[in-house]
């Protein structure tokens, strides 16, 4: 029987004295590091959060699906204010400081199905902003934190696949775990020394066969990313993990360094290479706003096809053919690159569709057909070198393309990313 959460407002520690600092909202105070100790059996966690320096007091975190049991700083109770489960914010009584400050937050969590946190089926998925159903967090895509994860209570006979640490800044949705009976297949090592693996579910007949087929060119594609764009930022071991997503859910999620691939897609080469490419765009470079979603998904869709074009040309040709078919099914009302920042909800405002993926991919393909794919490779490398570890915008990408290639992509962006009145025909940009 799962532990029920108490729907109570909480105020931690001893009541503050009249002249003591009260819990204070400060959403701008940066999260530097997140260390998690998760007890699966007890459905509890301790999050040690390190905040950045701040000239103003207080600190705030999102805790939408959590019950906060207590907060301490240096072993002493720290006053906090947390609303009932289902409200977003935890406010802390942290003083202003020119130093980083760490707090330990004890809490209970519960399962959430529908790709909104921890699933009872043994996997997590918190994109785009459901990290607050797993741990106290900042869900804005531009925010980055390093991570450590200690996972206790893994059921006997099961394997947990997760990174013990993520040592470079990552968006909150990047951290994940998957628990099942897995078979690990080691695929090879890249020129830079990154080991590549795939995990298939042992109990599922023939899944290892599909997994090996779907990752047949993954080592070569990953090596192409490293050599073309720059070094991988999230450790020396990368892989695809087959997860038992609900029926009808096809695709993957960029939980680097061990990305999750829905079991129905584990045999699909484009999906495996697409998720790998997020190590450079979407994770390696975060997006500034949800409006810049195309900078993640459009860029990565292009890179998956481009890498497969190079390392497996027949597969790459099939990918572009499939993209063309998907392009034809996109409604003209689906946005690709809204011209705002912080005004769009990626789910509620219909941005999470095939439009940013496919129109974004063909935007880059149109430029490649105009100036040459090698010049686009150079522009992507220059962009990655400039922005890796931070957040960037799609406008930054247009500026970089113009600087590196000498071609102004503004008209091409208007056709593919902004004008939704018609679906363009693939080909060279004007």
* 1 pLDDT above the threshold of 50: no
Within 10 Å of residue 217's Cβ, how many Cβ atoms? 20
pLDDT > 70: what percent of the chain? 95
Tokens 């795939």 belong to which residue? 198
Token pair in block for residue 117: 């946190």
Residue 315's SS3 state is helix
For residue 213, give the H/E element and its range. Answer: helix 207-214
* 313 pLDDT above the threshold of 60: yes
Burial of 125 (0-12, 13-18, 19+ CB in 10 A): buried
Token pair in block for residue 172: 């909150």
pLDDT band at 31 (very low <50, low <70, confident <90, very high): very high
| 213-255 per-position pLDDT tens digit | 999 999 999 999 999 999 999 999 999 999 999 988 999 999 9
Pick the closest to residue 200 from 219, 221, 186 (CA basis): 186
* pLDDT at position 86: 64
Q: Terminus-to-terminus CA distance in the chain, angstroms?
A: 62
Question: Cα(15)–Cα(424) distance, rounded to whole angstroms?
Answer: 63
413 prior amide bond cis, ω within 30: no
* 263 pLDDT above the threshold of 80: yes
Mean pLDDT of the chain: 94
Token pair in block for residue 24: 């204070």
Question: Cα(400)–Cα(421) distance, rounded to whole angstroms?
Answer: 27
* pLDDT at position 6: 29
* pLDDT at position 333: 83
| 144-167 per-position pLDDT tens digit | 999 999 999 999 999 999 999 999
| 370-381 per-position pLDDT tens digit | 999 999 999 999
- Among 10-14, 37-41, 64-68, 317-321, name the one with the lowest average pLDDT: 10-14
* 14 pLDDT above the threshold of 50: no
Task: Decide if 214 contacts 269 (C-beta within 8 A).
Answer: yes
pLDDT band at 19 (very low <50, low <70, confident <90, very high): low
- How far apart, in Å, are the Cα atoms of 82 and each of 5, 36, 261, 421? 14, 19, 35, 46
- Among 20-24, 190-194, 198-202, 290-294, name the one with the lowest average pLDDT: 20-24
| 67-123 per-position pLDDT tens digit | 999 999 999 999 999 977 667 899 999 999 999 999 999 999 999 999 999 999 999
Contacts of 348 (CB under 8 A, 6+ apart): none
* pLDDT at position 2: 31
Residue 159's SS3 state is strand
Of the two residues 188 and 14, the one the predictor is more confident about is: 188
pLDDT band at 331 (very low <50, low <70, confident <90, very high): confident
Residue 290's SS3 state is helix
Task: Decide if 231 contacts 192 (C-beta within 8 A).
Answer: yes
Alpha helices per DSSP H over 229-312: 269-277, 293-311
Structural domains in the chain, CATH included, are 10-173 (2.60.40.1730), 182-277 (1.10.390.10), 288-418 (1.10.390.10)
What pTM, to 2 d.p., does this model score? 0.94
* 415 pLDDT above the threshold of 80: yes
Of the two residues 9 and 279, the one the predictor is more confident about is: 279
Question: Cα(70)–Cα(151) distance, rounded to whole angstroms?
Answer: 20
Pick the closest to residue 293 from 349, 365, 348, 356 (CA basis): 356
* 192 pLDDT above the threshold of 70: yes
Question: Cα(276)–Cα(253) distance, rounded to whole angstroms?
Answer: 10
pLDDT > 90: what percent of the chain? 92
* pLDDT at position 248: 86
| 347-390 per-position pLDDT tens digit | 999 999 999 999 999 999 999 999 999 999 999 999 999 999 99
- How far apart, in Å, are the Cα atoms of 261 and each of 175, 243, 268? 15, 6, 9
Token pair in block for residue 300: 């990565």
* 256 pLDDT above the threshold of 90: yes
Contacts of 238 (CB under 8 A, 6+ apart): 194, 195, 196, 197, 222, 232, 256, 257, 258, 276, 279
Question: Cα(99)–Cα(111) distance, rounded to whole angstroms?
Answer: 36
Task: Decide if 236 contacts 186 (C-beta within 8 A).
Answer: no
> Alpha carbon 46 to chain centroid distance?
22
Question: Following DSSP, what letter does each residue of 296-365 receive, concatenated?
Answer: HHHHHHHHHHHHHHHH-HHHHHHHHHHHHHHHHT--TTS-SS-S-SS---TTTTT-SSHHHHHHHHHHHH
């Amino acid at each position: 029987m799962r532990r029920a959460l108490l729907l109570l407002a909480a105020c931690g520690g001893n009541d503050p004295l009249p002249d003591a600092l009260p819990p204070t909202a400060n959403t701008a105070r940066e999260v530097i590091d997140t260390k998690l100790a998760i007890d699966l059996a007890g459905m509890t966690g301790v999050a040690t959060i390190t905040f950045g320096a701040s000239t103003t007091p207080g600190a705030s975190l999102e805790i939408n699906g959590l019950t906060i049991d207590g907060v301490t700083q240096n072993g002493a109770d720290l006053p906090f204010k947390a609303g009932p489960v289902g409200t977003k914010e935890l406010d802390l009584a942290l003083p202003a400081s020119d130093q980083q400050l760490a707090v330990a937050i004890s809490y209970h969590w519960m399962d959430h199905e529908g790709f909104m946190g921890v699933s009872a089926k043994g996997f997590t998925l918190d994109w785009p902003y459901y990290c607050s159903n797993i741990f106290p967090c900042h869900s804005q895509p531009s925010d980055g934190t390093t991570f450590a994860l200690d996972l206790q209570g893994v059921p006997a006979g099961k394997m947990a696949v997760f990174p013990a640490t993520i040592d470079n800044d990552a968006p909150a949705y990047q951290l994940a775990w998957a628990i099942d009976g897995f078979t690990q297949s080691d695929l090879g090592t890249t020129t830079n020394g990154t080991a590549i693996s795939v995990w298939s579910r042992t109990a599922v007949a023939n899944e290892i066969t599909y997994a090996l087929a779907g990752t047949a060119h993954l080592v070569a594609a990953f090596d192409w990313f490293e050599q073309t764009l720059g070094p991988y930022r999230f450790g020396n071991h990368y892989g695809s993990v087959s997860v038992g997503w609900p029926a009808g859910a096809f695709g993957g999620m960029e939980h680097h360094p061990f990305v999750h691939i829905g079991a129905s897609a584990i045999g699909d080469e484009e999906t495996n290479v697409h998720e790998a490419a997020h190590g450079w765009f979407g994770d390696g470079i975060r997006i500034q706003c949800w409006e810049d979603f195309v900078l993640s998904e459009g860029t990565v869709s292009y890179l998956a096809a481009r890498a497969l074009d190079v390392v497996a040309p027949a597969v790459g040709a099939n990918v572009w053919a499939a993209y063309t078919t998907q392009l034809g099914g996109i409604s003209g009302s689906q946005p690709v690159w809204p011209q705002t920042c912080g005004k769009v909800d990626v789910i509620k405002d219909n941005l999470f569709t095939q439009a940013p993926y496919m129109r974004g991919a063909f935007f880059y393909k149109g430029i490649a057909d105009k100036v040459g794919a090698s010049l686009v490779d150079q522009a992507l490398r220059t962009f990655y070198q400039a922005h890796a570890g931070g957040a960037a915008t799609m406008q930054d990408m247009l500026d970089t393309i113009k600087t590196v290639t000498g071609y102004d992509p503004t008209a091409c962006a208007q056709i593919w990313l902004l004008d939704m009145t018609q679906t363009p025909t693939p080909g060279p940009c004007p």
